[in-house]
Amino acid sequence: MSFAAAMRYRFMKDLGAPALMAARRAMRKKRPSRPDPLFGPPLKSLARLKEIMMRHYFLARYAPGAHPVAWVTSGAPVELLRVFGFYTFYPENHGAMCGAAHMAPELCQAAEDHGYSQDLCSYARCDLGHYFTGKSPAGQLPKPDLLFASNNICQTVTYWFKALAHYYDIPLILFDTPFNFDQITESDLRYMAGQLEEMITPLQRISGVKFDQAKFLASLELGRATSETWGQVLQTMRHRPSPLTIFDTFFHMAPVVSLRGLPVAYDYYQTLLEELRDRVARGIGAVKLERKRLMWDNIAMWYKVRDFSNLFAEHGMNFVVATYTNAWAETIQYLDPDDPFRSLAKTYSLVILNNNLDHRLSLMERLIADYQVDGLVIHSARSCKPYSVGQYDLKRLLMERLAIPSVVIEADITDSRAYSEEQTRTRLEAFFEALED
Partner 1 sequence: MSLFAGIDIGSLSTEAVIIDQQAAMVAAVILPTEAHSTKAAETALEAALEQAGARRPELARIVATGYGRVSVPFAHKAVTEITCHGAGAHHLFPGTGTVIDIGGQDSKVIRLGPGGKVVDFTMNDKCAAGTGRFLEVMAAKLGAGLDELGPLSRAARREVAISSVCTVFAESEVVSLVARNEPREDIIRGLHRAIVNRVWSMVRAVGVEGQVTMTGGVAKNSGVVELLEEKVGQPINVYREPQIVGALGAALLARDQARALG
Q: What is the dihedral of CA 362, 366, 368, 371, to 10 degrees?
A: -160
Sorted by sequence, the CB contacts under 8 Å of residue 151 that are 6+ apart come out as: 157, 158, 174, 175, 176, 177
Is 420 a binder of partner 1 (CB under 8 A)? yes
Instruction: For the CB of residue 427, give the shortest distance to partner 1 in the complex, in Å.
Output: 6
Question: Would you give the DSSP letter of residue 68?
Answer: -
In the list 348, 410, 416, 417, the residue contacting partner 1 (rule: CB under 8 A) is 410
Task: Report the number of secondary-structure helices (H) and strands (E) in the chain.
Answer: 20, 8
- In the complex with partner 1, which residue's Cβ is closer, 169 or 433? 433
Tell me if 430 contacts partner 1 by CB under 8 A.
Answer: yes
Q: Which of 399, 401, 417, 421 binds partner 1 (CB under 8 A)?
A: 399
Nearer to partner 1, 158 or 420 (CB): 420
**Least distance from partner 1 to the Cβ atom of residue 379, Å:** 15
Residue whose CB is less far from partner 1, 338 or 422: 422
Q: Closer to partner 1 at the Cβ: 356 or 423?
A: 423
Size of site (CB under 8 A) for partner 1: 19
Is 427 one of the binding residues for partner 1 (CB under 8 A)? yes
Q: Which is nearer to partner 1, 394 or 413 (CB)?
A: 394
What whole-number distance in Å separates Cα of residue 218 and Cα of residue 262?
A: 10
Question: Of residues 20, 46, 405, 419, which one binds partner 1 by CB under 8 A?
Answer: 405
CB of 315 to partner 1, least distance (A): 13
* Neighbouring-strand partners of residue 294: 319, 375
Give, for 172, the enclosing helix (H) or strand (E). Answer: strand 172-175
CA angle 255, 18, 259 (to 5 degrees): 15
Beta carbon of residue 430, minimum distance to partner 1 (angstroms, whole number) = 4
* 406 near partner 1 (CB under 8 A): yes
CA distances for 13 relative to 90, 188, 227, 263, angstroms: 20, 42, 26, 16
Does 408 participate in binding partner 1 (rule CB under 8 A)? Answer: yes
Report the residue number, 205 or 396, with the smaller CB distance to partner 1: 396
- Least distance from C-beta 409 to partner 1, angstroms? 10
Contact of 391 with 406, CB cutoff 8 Å: no
Whole-angstrom distance, CA of residue 418 vs CA of residue 397:
27
Would you say 304 or 346 has its CB closer to partner 1? 304
> Is residue 434 at the binding interface for partner 1, with CB under 8 A as the rule?
yes
Taking residues 355 to 394 in sequence order and writing x for each that binds partner 1 by CB under 8 A, - otherwise, the string is -------------------------------------x--
CB 219 within 8 A of CB 83: yes
Using CA atoms, how far residue 208 sits from 59, 64, 211, in Å, is: 21, 14, 10
For residues 257 and 97, the answer to whether their CB atoms sit within 8 Å is no
- Residue 410 φ then ψ, to 5°: -95, 115
The amino acid that residue 178 corresponds to is: P
Considering the complex, what minimum distance in angstroms separates the CB of residue 317 from partner 1?
A: 16
Residues that bind partner 1 (CB under 8 A): 392, 395-396, 399, 403, 405-408, 410, 420, 422-423, 426-427, 429-430, 433-434
